[in-house]
Structure 1
Amino acid sequence: MTEEREFKPVPRIVWAEPGDAEAVAERIAAEVSKPGRKRIAVPGGSTPIRIFDLLAHRKLDWSGVTLTLTDDRQVPDDHEASNFRKLSAALGSSGATIERLEEGRRVDPFDLVWLGMGADGHIASLFPHMVAEIRPGRTVISTTPIPLPPEAPFARLTLNRRALCAAKEVIIVITGDEKRRVIEKAQNGNDASYPVSDVLHGCGAPVTIYWSK
Structure 2
Amino acid sequence: MNADFDYLFKISFLGDSGVGKSSLIYRYSDGTFIDSFISTIGIDFKIKKIETNGKIFKLQLWDLTGNERFRLIPRSFYRGAHGIMLLYDVTNQDSFDNLKNWIQSIQEKAPENVNIILVGTKIDLVSKKVIDTETGKNFAEQLGFSFFEISSKENINVDEAFHHFVHQIYQRVNQDPQNNLNLIENQKKENSCF
Please give the range of the TM-score, normalised by the shorter of the 2 chains. 0.3 to 0.5
TM-score, length basis structure 2: 0.40
**Computing the radius of gyration over CA atoms, which structure comes out larger, 1 or 2?**
2
